[in-house]
Structure 1
Amino acid sequence: MRMELSVGDGVTGLLIDGLTETPYVAATLKVESTGLVLEVPYIMHGETDQFRHLEQWFSGRMPPANLQLYTNGGTISLFDITWGGHSERQIAVGILRPALAVLHGRDGDLSDPLTVATLQSRVDGLNEWGKSSAIEIDHHVDSARLVTGLSISVSSVPAATWRQGDAVMTIRASWSTEETTDEAGRAMRILDNLILESTFEHGARSVAEHLREHRKVVDLLTILFGGRTRYLGHLVKDARFVDYSLGGTVIGHPTVELFSRQTIADRPIRNSPPTSLTRPLASLAELGVDALVKWSQNYDEWKRFILPSAGAFRRESPYLEDSITSMCIAMEAGGQILGQVPGEAATYGRKRPTLATYVYRCLSAIGVDWGENISSTVGLARAIATNGNTLKHPDRGAYPDYTQSYVVRMVSELTVRLLALYLAGGASDVLADYRKVSGLAWRERQVLQENAISIDDAGVFHLG
């Protein structure tokens, strides 16, 4: 049976450093939203040598890089451990902070850094975005068209595979089962989820290298949804994680759970409600694999655009002003990368590009029809830039009117999301639907019309 741990859980066991002469000691591993915490009680200056190694670890602030915790549920392998503090009492408690934990023992030298052949991530919104399933159901009917049986086929099916440099990325339908018995009787639950998977052409890599490639996809997913996407969990597979029979025969290389300091804050507490996400701008099928390749190729150059926008969408209930500032930072970076476009000179200040210029370039790239309440793209760019600069610079006086800021955030967020589509080069039909008169930007046009809000060529708001 696979060991299970969630944020908020703790497990106690015996701590092993891989040296035969070192005594085993008790320790408790806590899985907290801020990271993994290993608490180790010991006796300071004891009469025996039982805790001498712990005194050296904590007083010298130099614990082993890797340890294993033997528990009733199985072995937990802990990696990249740092000192986290200790008390100086007779019964002391030392704190260690592992960067990584794998819920399985690892063969070989314990001191070796952790590398894995495969990393899988479950991510908020991936099921809705990928729209693929591991389950196929065939209904058997009789001559009266009544269902007499079901044939259920379950298999892990790749939905998309592409390359990101040396990494091979796959989105696949994955499944597992749970058997339960309650007052309703026997039941089998099939868990059917899409996972994001990475492998590398030249063998095992560090978890950080895997996550670097996963982050590229997750950032795109976050911007397409325009909302918070979380890492729901990770699984790893490698030749050094082995299952044995009671006789010592190798029976397989399991896929086992990983906790990482980099993503543990994302992981939900047990039984917490799922993140509420609206429909993405484009599904995986609408984007296509070529768009994922292009996105990854452009990712490093466009980081100054991607990171502020993805970070803002990932925050839970951000302030209006916070979102606008992040979107303006993103558009300023995006506009500089896009380069000059016709008509931008009207946004210059002292014959040089301004924030309005960079916003204008982004608006021009996506080419959305915002409706008749927006007099021109130049005017809209000026309005957004004025609002963003007023929020950013304290010498600009009071904060802008709430209604104006609401419109600026609404338009800026859609602009950034569509620019991500433009950057990926996919979903051309989606962009076309936003560009045509009375297209998909109906929500933005409706807000302007219903509230009698308009923006003139100078970027000035008019109400009523």
Structure 2
Amino acid sequence: MMGTRRSVQFGDVITGMLVDGVDGTPYVAATLLVDEQLGVRLEVPYITTSDTAAGETPGEWFETKCPPKNLLLIALEGNISLFDCRYSGHTVRHPAGIAVGKITPADVVLQDRKGDHSDPLEVKELRSDIDGLTEWTGFTAITRHPSVDDENRVKKLDIELRTTDELIWTQGQADMALRTTWSCDSTAEGLTINEGVMLHSTFPAPVPVLTHLEEHRKVASLMTFIFGCPITWRSHSVRDQRFTEKRFSQLIKQNTVKEAARPDPTEKQLRHPLASPSQIGSSGLEAWAASYETWGRFIHPAVSALNSPRTTLENVVVNAAVSMEAAGHLIGEVDGENATYDRRRRKTTATFIYRCLARTGWDWSGICESRVGLARALAKNYNTIKHYGRGDFPDPLETYLVSSTATLVVRLLAIRQAAPDATSEFDSGRHFPAYGRLVEDFKNNGLFIKCDGLFAVSS
């Protein structure tokens, strides 16, 4: 009896028979590979010789570089649907005529689908496992019910596992939820319970997977700002009435699957989020999503820098400054910014950065004499890196401190966009570990920023 495959992992090799959905065409042997570097790849062996009929499948797919859009792989452990397939090359061994063609599917679902084989993949529900959701929310699917005796000793422990919607909101047409999930693995050693928090999206009617992921990416970007470290997709799964089973089934998305191979964030990186779920809430998540397109030129460069752990400090400064320039335009004029204008009373890079510092609402006096001086220092470092005519790169230590400051500023701006009415505790900034670490960095290096934007030895 054919089994049901629930998941595939990097390194898996699955062999089966390929179905193209066209009546009368034979099944074709194929192998599905899941690789950390290449993602998902389908390899199809075939023979191409002088006595092979012209246009015979699958040779025709590779000679014309046009495989079927959708394919079904029938394997021993269950059927696998492959969508939006594209030609990725073929190799022919002459004179034997033995060949291997390669196909890359955009989407792979570990389940068979009912209806027209050629229809594009559209689903009503999609969920994503994203770094940090469990740590940020603190939600759990586990409830423990101990039974004790007269001496208060535990005699029995009942464990209840439940999937619940802990936080719900809307993004456009999508109903969004942060939902607890759980699973059990039974082995000879015992029972292992796995739990976590996933991001769910549900549309009124089936939509393309990319439409779901556009909404999910908005939340993933916010999580990057909240934690200030790379936040990665770990897995996706989908559910729709056209699939033969009602359960969620694993979705492998070609343009996100390779992210899952990146290292997990450390416990330390996820220990101190910049804002809590209670500070942001459903209304904050809705506000963030609603402004995402307008604030895109602020969001994308900053997220790119925060999600690139191996990037140089100079790149971090440039990306953060580009984001702050965009945010400065969106924020508009603020009190005190005229001190950053040039001699002709024109706005400068420091002006837009000053607006960002003002928007954070934080008191930055632990690292600088004034907000104007800090804006000038950040702008000067950025412009020196960016412009060839400014001479040598800035002092590496100064660039390190500027990059740390700039990343904190853009993170704060994102939180302000999601939660403009954050608590007074958030306004002060004094009790936040991220600010404390920044002040300590300046003190440990004996530096302070003066009103003119220059670094000076701290007293």
Alignment correspondent of 2:88: 84
Q: Do residues 325 (structure 1) and 318 (structure 2) align?
A: yes
Alignment correspondent of 2:404: 410
Q: Do residues 401 (structure 1) and 399 (structure 2) align?
A: no
Conserved in 2, the CA contact under 8 Å of 1:281 and 1:430?
no
- CA shift, 1:48, in A, is 4.9
Q: Percent identity?
A: 40
Task: Report Cα offsets for 1:241-284 as digits up to 9, x if no partner.
Answer: 113xxxxxxxxx12100000221121138xx7665533211122
CA RMSD of aligned residues (A): 1.9
Structure 2 residues not aligned, in runs of 5+ = none
Q: 282, 291, 296: which one pairs with 2:284?
A: 291
Conserved in 2, the CA contact under 8 Å of 1:42 and 1:51?
no
Conserved in 2, the CA contact under 8 Å of 1:371 and 1:445?
no
Alignment correspondent of 2:118: 111
Q: Do residues 16 (structure 1) and 23 (structure 2) align?
A: no
Matched ranges for 1:218-297 at <5 A = 218-243=220-245, 253-268=246-261, 275-276=266-267, 277-278=269-270, 279-297=272-290
Alignment correspondent of 2:72: 68
Conserved in 1, the CA contact under 8 Å of 2:144 and 2:157?
yes
Conserved in 2, the CA contact under 8 Å of 1:282 and 1:430?
no
Residue 264 to residue 120, structure 1, CA distance change in 2 (3 Å): same
Distance 2:396 2:292 in 1: 34
Distance 2:437 2:67 in 1: 57
- CA shift, 1:357, in A, is 0.9
Q: Do residues 391 (structure 1) and 385 (structure 2) align?
A: yes
Conserved in 1, the CA contact under 8 Å of 2:229 and 2:265?
no
Distance 1:373 1:190 in 2: 47
Matched ranges for 1:311-390 at <5 A = 311-349=304-342, 350-390=344-384
Structure 1 residues not aligned, in runs of 5+ = 244-252
Task: Report Cα offsets for 1:184-233 as digits up to 9, x if no partner.
Answer: xxx111111101000112x1110000000000000000111000111110
Alignment correspondent of 2:218: 216
Q: Do residues 121 (structure 1) and 128 (structure 2) align?
A: yes
Alignment correspondent of 1:432: 427
Q: 141, 165, 178: which one pairs with 1:134?
A: 141
Normalising by structure 1, report the TM-score: 0.92
Conserved in 2, the CA contact under 8 Å of 1:132 and 1:194?
yes
Q: 12, 24, 29: which one pairs with 1:26?
A: 29
Conserved in 2, the CA contact under 8 Å of 1:7 and 1:267?
no
- The one-letter amino acid of 1:190's match is I
Distance 2:223 2:366 in 1: 31
More moved, 369-378 vs 134-143: 369-378
Distance 1:414 1:313 in 2: 10
Conserved in 2, the CA contact under 8 Å of 1:103 and 1:258?
yes
- The one-letter amino acid of 2:279's match is E
- Report the secondary structure of 1:216's partner residue: helix
Distance 2:260 2:264 in 1: 12
Distance 2:187 2:425 in 1: 44
- The one-letter amino acid of 1:347's match is T
Conserved in 2, the CA contact under 8 Å of 1:124 and 1:275?
no
- Report the secondary structure of 1:423's partner residue: helix
Q: Do residues 100 (structure 1) and 107 (structure 2) align?
A: yes
- The one-letter amino acid of 1:94's match is G
More moved, 215-224 vs 80-89: 80-89
- CA shift, 1:371, in A, is 2.6
- Report the secondary structure of 2:105's partner residue: strand
Distance 1:394 1:94 in 2: 48
Q: 56, 59, 63: which one pairs with 2:63?
A: 59
